Structure 1
Amino acid sequence: MITHDIPLLLYTSEQIRQGEQLLTEQQNSVTLYHLMERAGEATFDLMRLLYPQCKKLLVCCGKGNNGGDGYVVARLAHEQGVDVTVWELPTVEHLPTDARCARSHWLQCNGKTITDTPTTTYELIIDALLGIGIKGQVRSEMADRIRWINHQMTPVIAVDVPSGLCADTGATFGAVIKASQTLSFIGFKQGLTTGQAAQYCGERYFSDLGVALQFSQVMKPSALHITESQVQSLLLPRSRVAHKGCFGRVLCIGGDLGMAGAIRLSSEACARAGAGLTSVITRPDNALSIAMMRPEIMAIGWQESSNILIDKLAWSDVVVLGPGLGTSDWGQSLFAQCHHIDKPCVVDADGLNLLAKAPDYRDNRIITPHPGEAARLLNVSIDEIEADRFAAIQRLQQNYGGVVVLKGAGSLIYDGKTLWICTCGNPGMATGGMGDVLSGIIGALLGQGLALVEAAYAGVWIHSRAADLCAQSGERGMLASDLFPFIRQLVNPR
């Protein structure tokens, strides 16, 4: 069975290899060749579903078991009357046993095979070049084939993983197939959900090849995919006799000169996501405008001589620290007085930049860096963060404690035990204020009693899903404040 939904359980490529081996050892009816046949059948079924009129097919086979999947697809398509050409490597003698068997069956049905660059055009291309077996940069001969395929502007179905994309990290190894669809097998690969994956996978599909239950019994997942049902299970109906004190007092701190918008967005997102009471500590010049534009938010101006901060920190259940905070003396003073408080805290934006200058470890804190902020927190380059986002978020959590949200395409959430991935979201979110809205949502969920990691992954999903709903009117020109109606919709599941 093929599904268009990314499953809950995600795995690394090594886990897939180990799991396949364990399955074949424990299940007499399952062999690696049977799994190869099923993978080829699933790919052919997807091809028929999406491209039913295809009559001229190019199947590109590499020298590993991914290539074996391709030979099975070629044979099945040929048997159904499709004009199929297999473009293989000259070194077929190095094929693994099962892939060699699949190739033999292809040749037995008088299959057409070439090794030189094709000189004709095709209606569809199957990418079975590399799969999960890639290690290091794509070699020149394979890179030439990948570039030729991308240049054709022909639809491409990638078998398991787009060739050149790391199945573990979502990073690229030089040349990468730009697939129209990717069909992942047995266990969905974690690298297809983050990093550069969205740029190269196209539409993502999954087939467990009939072994999902057995596989989950022998292999623990490396990460979990956030689903709508998981988030909704946290948002229970409110008591009919509830009052505002039941849903948290959230204090949002930030908004230096010229940055009132950041703390306004964060605090309004907090209120829209269901916080019982939302208050703001900001520059005196900003307080009046925030209160006038959103009177439900209690905005208070603060100067260093004022005692109001101590009172409001005592009043609050949750603190959101950082949106528009700045790094001037005013922002640094606020940060110094706030970030050691012993209550749940969300730190974002300039709060993270100040934290990078004075690192500490806290168990009751959520930090929400984008890759640039993460690089400053770890004192590395952004490229190092993006090369392995999974390793980066683990280092961030080890160094800073609590829960870490590493934002980006395929945001990651990690609490030191479980890693969550959100695949919602779109490029329309690449605009100012989006991170401020996220911090406010997470703060509101903490105020309503969710645990740190629950508030983090639910907040990320609500934020990203709201952006997807908003993007139905177009991605370009989306504003952070445009998400508010959709946030309210999502925190009230039907």
Structure 2
Amino acid sequence: MSQNILAEIAMPTSLYRGAQIRRLEALAIDSGIAGIELMTRAGQAAFQYLEDRWPEKAPIEIFCGGGNNGGDGYVLAALVAESGVPVKVWAMTDNVKGDALSARQWAERQGVEIQPWQGATLSPQSLVVDALLGIGLSGSLRQEYAEVIAMINASGAPVLAIDIPSGLCCDTGRTLGDAIHATATLTFVGLKQGLYTGEAVDYVGDLLLNQIDLPGELYKQIEPASYRVSPVKLMASLGTRSKLSHKGSFGHVLVIGGDKGMAGAVLLAASAAARSGAGLVSCATRAEHLPAFCAARPEVMALGVESGVDLAPLLARCSVVVIGPGLGTDAWGAELLKAALAANKPTLLDADALNLLAQDPSLNVSADTCRVLTPHPGEAGRLLGESTEAIQHDRFTAVAKLQERYQATVLLKGPGTLIAGAGIVGRGIADAGMTGAGNEDAGNEDAAIFVSQGGNPGMASGGMGDILSGVIGALMAQGMKGTEASCLGASLHAQAGDIAAELGGERGLLAMDVVDKLQMVVNGRSLESR
């Protein structure tokens, strides 16, 4: 298991919105911890991180705004000056009040040079600290902040962002005009959900948390906004296989799709289901695809279908349905989708199944059994009648709206995949009992949102979504609920993609390269343990 994965496991799984973080800070102050003490702890944590990561880097140039984020920067400047390392503060404003003013005065007493920023440039040899704007930013950047952010990004200098890269929205992960491209982000009190999805993944760099010694009981008073997926717990829930197992012990996945000219999509999904541990995999597709399909994947039982009637005996035998890869939106695909939904089996809808659902409001995916929808942002927009841009503007709100509208588990693809589904909050999906995680009372049946990490830009190529559908379908066939299967499936899919990219590089990474790594990751084996 890689060091990066180990570091992530050590982090709490609970994620918060900015207002919740401010509430935690207020509770800490009400408990008797002074605001300046919280600021001092944050500055000390940042100083320790700088010493550990960049022990010989100088000069240190700190950009401070006028709020508490700037106050953290002034504390850091004072501590750096005390250590004898050259440090300079670029102040965006002299209008500093409260605890931030006390911190600035401390820095001045230590002889820190504090100058107003007036368009100066930076050397790549500098170490930059971003203490410009904190979690309170919600509107567009003012021009002077946009200019300094652009200058820092253009400098090529390493950047430590304090709490959050300035310019990011901590609730959604979108940039508010522009944002700091941080080398590392040291965040405080709790993990902000916006740091894990959307545009944020390109700006945060290495993410670390310091809870600045807040009492653990404070976190029990705030229900997290969302949770990080913990694949270790989920993998454990799969258990070990009995020596008495047979192919019927691990479910039967039926993959439906592959209209004319689109056989590859359904082949990828079926291959992924087989590699992810399903006992049996069948495929219903166009008859003309069968020779090539059987030659490529003889383990899958491929059958040609022309209508929903042809599909009936296959639906009767399977335990899970995956429908949509290469399905098309013509009459053939529409008829197969209606037949699949009528079978009332646990069903995953992807790709054209989602497009057909968006086109036909009479289709009803809610049922007594499990339904999973796996849209990318464009498909999500069609399902909600919104633009792709609106979906990406606030991915958390979008996935919650989809889950509520369709009463199904919904997996919204993209950097920082989001899963909205009911049940088992914090148990199996998120590690329980972590420091500050707020998971002690988890386990309710209310809908919750989970964030799955991992993956790489090499996976931005055709067929990757088809693979994800097959992985999740296989996990459902092996007994996992829709939310569990979606969370673990997203994680395994990303891990397989990362291993494939590490071995061969990101450019030219193909979907079948990822399929070939699924057997490794579904058995809990990392690249190092091969």
The TM-score, its normalising length taken from structure 2, stands at 0.89
Match of 1:7 among 12, 30, 33: 12
In the alignment, is residue 421 of structure 1 matched against residue 424 of structure 2?
A: no
Contact 2:341 / 2:365 at 8 angstroms: preserved in 1? no
User: Which letter maps to 1:432?
Assistant: G
Paired position in structure 2 for 1:308 = 310
Paired position in structure 2 for 1:438 = 468
Q: 1:205 to 1:225 in 2, by over 3 A?
A: same
Contact 1:9 / 1:225 at 8 angstroms: preserved in 2? yes
Distance in structure 2 (CA, Å) of the matches to 1:460 and 1:89: 42
Query: 5 Å matches for 1:114-263?
Result: 114-117=115-118, 118=120, 121=123, 123-211=126-214, 213-263=216-266
Structure 1 stretch displaced more, 318-327 or 213-222: 213-222
Contact 2:183 / 2:205 at 8 angstroms: preserved in 1? yes
Paired position in structure 1 for 2:500 = 470
User: Which letter maps to 1:400?
Assistant: Y
In the alignment, is residue 362 of structure 1 matched against residue 366 of structure 2?
A: yes
Cα offset for 1:240?
1.3
Residues 432-479 of structure 1: CA distance to partner in whole angstroms, max 9, x if unpaired? 000000000000000000011101101111101111111112111111
Contact 2:164 / 2:186 at 8 angstroms: preserved in 1? yes
Cα offset for 1:341?
2.5
Contact 1:60 / 1:86 at 8 angstroms: preserved in 2? yes
Cα offset for 1:119?
5.3
Distance in structure 2 (CA, Å) of the matches to 1:350 and 1:260: 13
In the alignment, is residue 37 of structure 1 matched against residue 40 of structure 2?
A: yes
Contact 1:4 / 1:206 at 8 angstroms: preserved in 2? no
Cα offset for 1:191?
0.2
Paired position in structure 2 for 1:492 = 523
Residues 15-36 of structure 1: CA distance to partner in whole angstroms, max 9, x if unpaired? 000011112213x3x2222111
Residue segments in structure 1 that go unaligned for 5+ positions in a row: none
Secondary structure at the residue paired with 2:135? helix
User: Which letter maps to 1:110?
Assistant: G
Distance in structure 1 (CA, Å) of the matches to 2:332 and 2:236: 41
Query: 5 Å matches for 1:318-337?
Result: 318-337=320-339
User: Which letter maps to 1:368?
Assistant: T
Distance in structure 1 (CA, Å) of the matches to 2:376 and 2:215: 34
Match of 1:395 among 401, 404, 407: 401
Structure 1 stretch displaced more, 40-49 or 400-409: 40-49
In the alignment, is residue 98 of structure 1 matched against residue 96 of structure 2?
A: no
Contact 1:361 / 1:399 at 8 angstroms: preserved in 2? no
CA RMSD of aligned residues (A): 1.6
Secondary structure at the residue paired with 2:313? helix
Paired position in structure 2 for 1:108 = 109
Match of 2:391 among 377, 381, 385: 385
Distance in structure 2 (CA, Å) of the matches to 1:434 and 1:55: 44
Cα offset for 1:221?
1.2
Cα offset for 1:116?
3.1
Residue segments in structure 2 that go unaligned for 5+ positions in a row: 423-446, 526-530
Paired position in structure 1 for 2:28 = 23
Residues 279-319 of structure 1: CA distance to partner in whole angstroms, max 9, x if unpaired? 00000001222122211100000113x74311111111110
Cα offset for 1:212?
6.4
Structure 1 stretch displaced more, 351-360 or 425-434: 351-360
Contact 1:320 / 1:440 at 8 angstroms: preserved in 2? yes
Secondary structure at the residue paired with 1:326? coil
Cα offset for 1:230?
2.1
Distance in structure 2 (CA, Å) of the matches to 1:120 and 1:464: 37
Residues 250-290 of structure 1: CA distance to partner in whole angstroms, max 9, x if unpaired? 11000001110100000010011011110000000012221
Contact 1:226 / 1:420 at 8 angstroms: preserved in 2? yes
Secondary structure at the residue paired with 2:88? strand
Distance in structure 2 (CA, Å) of the matches to 1:466 and 1:108: 53
In the alignment, is residue 80 of structure 1 matched against residue 83 of structure 2?
A: yes
Cα offset for 1:331?
1.3
Contact 1:410 / 1:421 at 8 angstroms: preserved in 2? yes
Distance in structure 2 (CA, Å) of the matches to 1:213 and 1:116: 40
Structure 1 stretch displaced more, 478-487 or 455-464: 478-487
Residues 37-68 of structure 1: CA distance to partner in whole angstroms, max 9, x if unpaired? 11111111111122111120110000110000
Cα offset for 1:485?
3.2
Distance in structure 2 (CA, Å) of the matches to 1:441 and 1:240: 23
The TM-score, its normalising length taken from structure 1, stands at 0.96
Contact 2:122 / 2:155 at 8 angstroms: preserved in 1? no
Secondary structure at the residue paired with 2:498? helix
Q: 1:215 to 1:424 in 2, by over 3 A?
A: farther
Tell me the percent identity: 43
Cα offset for 1:4?
4.6
Paired position in structure 2 for 1:340 = 342
Secondary structure at the residue paired with 1:196? helix
Distance in structure 2 (CA, Å) of the matches to 1:165 and 1:438: 29
Distance in structure 1 (CA, Å) of the matches to 2:147 and 2:342: 55
Distance in structure 1 (CA, Å) of the matches to 2:274 and 2:323: 16
Q: 1:207 to 1:331 in 2, by over 3 A?
A: same
Contact 2:44 / 2:79 at 8 angstroms: preserved in 1? yes
Give the length in aligned residue pairs. 488
Distance in structure 2 (CA, Å) of the matches to 1:211 and 1:21: 11
